[in-house]
Amino acid sequence: MAYPLEDLRVLDLSRVLAGPFAGRMLADLGADVVKVEPPDGDLTRLWGAVIGGIPGYYHQQNVGKRNVCIDLRLPEGRALVQALAAKADVVIENFRPGVTSRLGVSYGDLSKGNPRLVMLSISGFGQDGPEAQRAAFAPVIHAEAGLIARQARLSSNPPYDLPVSVSDTNAALHGLVAILSALWMRQRTGVGQYIDMAMIDATIATDDNLHFALEDSESTRVLPTEVWETRDTPVVISADFRHIWNHLSDEAKLPDPAPPGSSIADKGRLRKAAIRDYIRSLPGRDALVKILDRRNIAWGDVRTAEDIRTQPTVQHRGMVFEVDDRAGGTRPVVQSPYHFSAAEAGIRRPAPRKGEHNAEVVREWLGADDLSPWASALVSED
């Protein structure tokens, strides 16, 4: 079967996570994604296990792409990127606002040679405004968007960052939606456009609990999900505790431990203690799960990330994929989540080495076998 985006050309000028993740998903959907990497390399080349000369973090976010290594500080480098952009459908970048203009690769520069170009710029706080020039990685946005403070309040722990870069990946996925929308509009208008995606916008747009704070209605929010210890393994029960109490107290024929007239806080404390004792009285996790399934209450095993391959659905859907490690073996990569009825999607090749496809991309995109006009700006690991 064909890939949905197999005729799309994407020039990926981005680095670290927000931009590269959007490019990675486009590659898994079939686009020809060419990562433009500076001579000193993407920062993510410093992170993760190095196999076949490629570190794990870089590999995960750039699998499926091709790579040209270009020194944009040189006029020849800027000229080459401009030439490649003239043949591209999409450009992705996540420099700090203003950098692309200084380098001569802004949307204004690139769209002159390609009015059909769609360009996505991801930044922490947008391309203009009072904070546009602030440096912003995901933890900064997690803090500014209220996620760290909320986590601390709900967990009664000191403030600490989230264990996943939500602000980066949300911006990437909203950027992907915007790219596909702009391409669809281009079919009608014949012209491309520029997309300004701010990480803080994407984060608060996907925060399903923010409205409680905006409307001063925290008291009406669903009670936090809790983890319950069985005799062998912990289980998360995803339901309002009032629902849990109604079902499990009925299952176990538990009397209400809260005396008449008890405060809401005391009722909650006493009933939770009763449910906790009941769960611990069961033989173990399997016994609890049977009850929860019979009562149609959602639950989950509290797994470690190292154990993810044994999760039944992850296993069934092939979400951990073994790709050529370029050292005589394979290495695990998390697959993209797209499953189509009449199209293919997924990883097609391992991540590229720096400058690995310099000649190949110039030849295919520009129809040029001679690299000499840009030789001083092109770098290769080999």
CA angle in degrees (0–180, nearest 5) for 354-349-336: 110
Residues 63 and 46 in one domain: yes
Residues 166 and 241 in one domain: no
Residues 114 and 21 in one domain: yes
Share of the chain above pLDDT 70, in %: 100
- Model's pTM, two decimal places? 0.92
Residues 104 and 244 in one domain: no
Rg value, the chain, Cα: 25
Residue 345 has pLDDT above 90, yes or no: yes
CATH number at residue 198: 3.40.50.10540
Question: Which residue among 246, 266, 301 closes a domain?
Answer: 301
Please compute the mean of the pLDDT values over residues 136-164 and round it to a whole number. 94
Q: Is 252 left (phi over 0), alpha (psi -120 to 50) or beta?
A: alpha
Question: Whose CA is closest to 255, among 277, 280, 222?
Answer: 277
pLDDT band, residue 382 (cuts 50/70/90): low
Residues 275 and 328 in one domain: no
How far is residue 178's CA from residue 82's CA, in Å, rounded to a whole number?
23
Pairing outcome for strands 378-379 and 66-70:
antiparallel
Backbone angles phi, psi at 74, to 5 degrees: -95, 145
Residue 220 has pLDDT above 90, yes or no: no
How far is residue 106's CA from residue 98's CA, in Å, rounded to a whole number?
8
Residues 202 and 332 in one domain: yes
How far is residue 22's CA from residue 354's CA, in Å, rounded to a whole number?
19
Please compute the mean of the pLDDT values over residues 302-331 and round it to a whole number. 95
Residues 99 and 246 in one domain: no
Domain that holds residue 291: 234-301
Beta bridge partners of 37: 69
How far is residue 119's CA from residue 107's CA, in Å, rounded to a whole number?
7
Beta bridge partners of 216: none
Please compute the mean of the pLDDT values over residues 38-58 and round it to a whole number. 94
Note the pLDDT tens digit of each residue in 77-120: 999 999 999 999 999 999 999 999 999 999 999 999 999 999 99
Residue 229 has pLDDT above 70, yes or no: yes
CA–chain centroid gap for 227, Å, is: 25
Q: Is 337 a domain residue?
A: yes
Q: What is the pLDDT, as a whole number, of residue 120?
A: 98
Taking a C-beta distance cutoff of 8 angstroms, is the pair 45, 115 a contact? no
Taking a C-beta distance cutoff of 8 angstroms, is the pair 323, 63 a contact? yes
Question: Which residue among 263, 278, 301 closes a domain?
Answer: 301
Q: Is 221 a domain residue?
A: no
Q: Is 226 a domain residue?
A: no
Note the pLDDT tens digit of each residue in 190-216: 999 999 999 999 999 999 999 999 999
How far is residue 343's CA from residue 198's CA, in Å, rounded to a whole number?
31
Residue 200, CA atoms < 13 Å, CB-side half-sphere: 16
Q: What is the pLDDT, as a whole number, of residue 104?
A: 95
Length of the chain: 382
Question: Which residue among 251, 283, 301 closes a domain?
Answer: 301
Residues 191 and 94 in one domain: yes
Q: Is 222 a domain residue?
A: no
Residues 76 and 171 in one domain: yes
Q: Which residue has the tokens 């080495």?
A: 353
Our count of domains for the chain comes to 2
Q: Which residue has the tokens 């005589």?
A: 328
Residue 143 has pLDDT above 90, yes or no: yes
Note the pLDDT tens digit of each residue in 283-295: 999 999 999 999 9
> 18: which 2 tokens?
């927000």
3-state secondary structure the chain: CCCCCCCCEEEECCCCCHHHHHHHHHHHCCCEEEEEECCCCCHHHHCCCEECCEEHHHHHHHCCCEEEEECCCCHHHHHHHHHHHCCCCEEEECCCCCHHHHHCCCHHHHHHCCCCCEEEEEECCCCCCCCCCCCCCHHHHHHHCCHHHHHHHHHCCCCCCCCCCHHHHHHHHHHHHHHHHHHHHHHHHCCCEEEEEEHHHHHHHCCCCHHHHHCCCHHHCCCCCEEEECCCCEEEECCCHHHHHHHHHHHHCCCCCCCCCCCHHHHHHHHHHHHHHHHHHCCCHHHHHHHHHHCCCCEEECCCHHHHHHCHHHHHHCCEEEEECCCCCEEEEECCCCCCCCCCCCCCCCCCCCCCCHHHHHHHHHCCCCCHHHHHHEECCC
Share of the chain above pLDDT 90, in %: 94
Indicate the angle between helix axes 166-189 and 18-28, nearest 10 degrees: 60
Q: What is the pLDDT, as a whole number, of residue 155?
A: 87
